[in-house]
Structure 1
Amino acid sequence: MAGILDSVNQRTQLVGQNRLELLLFKLVGRQRFGINVFKVREVMPCPKLTSLPKQDKYVKGVAHIRGQTISVIDLSKATGGPEINPDDNAFVIIAEYNRSVQGFLVAGVERIINIRWQDIMPPPEGAGKSSYLTAVTEIDNEMVSILDVEKILNEINPVSTELSEDVVDDTVGASIGDRVIMIADDSTVARNQVKRALEPLGLKMVLAKNGQDALNQLLELAQGCSSIDEKVALLISDIEMPEMDGYTLTAEIKANEVLRKMPVILHTSLSGVFNNAMVEKVGAEDFIPKFHPDELATAVKKWLKVEELAE
């Protein structure tokens, strides 16, 4: 198990090819789940956990790992399942989301698989708002569920979407007229976080549930226009999305004569040098590791102002 992530640097080459690698794991029962390898720092047998007073009911305790104190979340209990016994050969997946590190307690870890984003589909329509799935795929003729980790983390430690007073400016929306901002993210929680953060700027926003949905909407809106920026002033897109990832979406936009003038901000929980290189490669205007309301709003104002000056 120690070597399961040894070749993670080689895996950065998959980014931008509309592919990813999933680390497969189990909670309680036979159902398999997946997490993007790029979010994972380390996988280890569950270390000794220390309980803290008034800790969240989904937090099993904290672990002291390589000089860092990390909260360990029972991923089964957090998604409505039975508790995982840390002493029962359980594992902890150390992962980084939104610039913070946390551990996820899982019952078992299997292997890493390479898969195309277009083979990862949105969850079934009947899943409902209470579902913790952000996507599903099929491996070995069995369904693998990809959890909406942003939703789980937001329920345990809600993220503030409020802007600082000096960032709030409700005249920004008026400055771009009837044009809208598009937000593309497969996580309902993440989409709404971005939307709420930008509402104090007075912007009109439309939402897309993944890269393919965003591209379809943009092409439809662009009909009869010489350039999409007549209707859509800016796109804010996640990177990890089923059917089409954010890098591929950006590349498609920049290769299309009608869409290419629209600025694109890639906004993601992934981090690392390779992301910055890919941002430049696909032609996105900006990259923001999410989620920081002031940083996002400042970037939006910057690119809308640049556009305004260009006109």
Structure 2
Amino acid sequence: MPTRTLGGLDVGAQGLGCMGMSSGYGVREDDGESIATIHRALELGVSLLDTANVYGEGVNEELVGRAIADRREKVVLATKFGIVHDERGQSVRGDAAYVKQCCEESLRRLGVDHIDLYYQHRTDPDVAVEESFGAMAELVAEGKVRHLGISEAGAGTIRRAHAVHPVTALQSEWSLWTRGIEDEVLPVCRELGIGIVPFSPLGRGFLTGAITSARTLPEDDMRRKLPRFTESNLDANLAIVERLRSLAAAKGVTAGQLALAWVLHQGADVVPIPGTKRRTYLEENVESVHIELSTEELDDIAGAAATVAGERYPEHLARNAGR
């Protein structure tokens, strides 16, 4: 696999999102297959593995830790802090004491002595980002963290964080049907030399064509609560998939591969992290790295998703993103 550089950090051109191995999309635990998927990813040159302390309330970090225990040197390990599940549902913490507490807990669960890329998962509305990044910078000075990242942040917040300590990467949702970072956030990242790590580059699996009704998803699948997956929006969004399938057929690839290739073509500083817990889907995703697209083809692909029905998050989740 070719490599790309995220703000000075070299990684494979495509990473692996590990969240779905433990939470989010209906937990059907198969740790054996999940670990085999991580091992296969490393064999294929996928070096950036992405997890977070909130995924499965720590279970995902433990899983990733077991998977990489005998091959740590092949991994660029990313994890996050900041989202808290509590009696209010979901809230955010970014105070210095909590930052350091979370790092220690993640190091223990992962079974490592340092984290390669440590993200603030969401910014705390009640704590200045300067405090959060000040604490994160201290973790770098202590050797517990190598690079700092920020997730789902607004342009102004990114500038403030970067002024405290260089930000290596921004992780935000970016795909054919989620393009909100392009107007303000992306230019700031490129001005400052910050790499881009798109999560959900396949529209939470929707752009593969595998989801035709929310009713087919597991009862505990978070997508059942997302506006774009509701029955009232589904028909309009399925039309996007049909257009992608037509374009993909002309290239001899799948709709999902074409959607991933479009993201990969957005710049050499872009490293998407499609998530999967199956080797078959991993191998399909990785093939997208080798797809070449012309300017005309890129325009046609973008045009296929010119109109999207529904917001990406319900209000209670949207308020924590893009600050």
TM over 0.5: no
> Could you tell me the TM-score, scaled by structure 2's length?
0.25
Higher relative helix content: 2
Which structure has the higher relative contact order (CA within 8 Å, separation 6+)?
2
Higher relative strand content: 1
> Could you tell me the TM-score, scaled by structure 1's length?
0.26
